[in-house]
Amino acid sequence: MRTFLILWVTPITLLGGWYGLSYYDMNFGYRILSRDLHDLVFIIYGDLLGIKPESIPPLVLKAIILDTLLVLGFIVIKRRRKQIWSAIKGWFTRDASHDVPIDGIKAPDQEYPRMS
């Protein structure tokens, strides 16, 4: 699970770091972090996908949010696997308490003595 999380977090961190630094043109002397390359990358992606370059970052953000929800779902399933399995079994197995005949149920006034 640790390897899975590392393989999930690393590209998101690198992409987010590159996007933030290149968007604000904090390049520290590296061409890869320049705003010119940032704009060029999104123009190329826009041309490849046939959409406007300005619409790509919101799409990437939505994909990251969806991936995050899926990863969190996997973590929940892994940690609570036994509880989830017993709940599913409970839904589909017949419980002995459901076999009580209707005549065996006591009326409320028979169950508790009257207070007068």
Range of the structural domain that residue 67 is part of: 2-91
Is 47 within the bounds of a domain?
yes
Q: Using 50, 70 and 90 to split pLDDT, how confident is the model at 72?
A: very high
pLDDT reported for residue 89: 86
The residue among 90, 52, 67 whose CA lies nearest residue 15 is 67
- Whole-angstrom Cα distance, residue 51 to residue 43? 9
Q: pLDDT for 45-60, tens place per residue?
A: 999 999 999 999 999 9
* Residue 38 belongs to a domain: yes
pLDDT at 43: 97
Residue 114 lies in a domain: no
Amino acid in the structure at residue 39 = D
CA distances from 64 to 46, 67, 86, 97 (A): 18, 5, 32, 46
User: Does 23 reside within a domain?
Assistant: yes
In a domain, 37, yes or no: yes
Q: 33 lies in a domain? A: yes
In a domain, 79, yes or no: yes
| The pLDDT value given to residue 24 | 94
As for how many domains the chain has, the answer is: 1
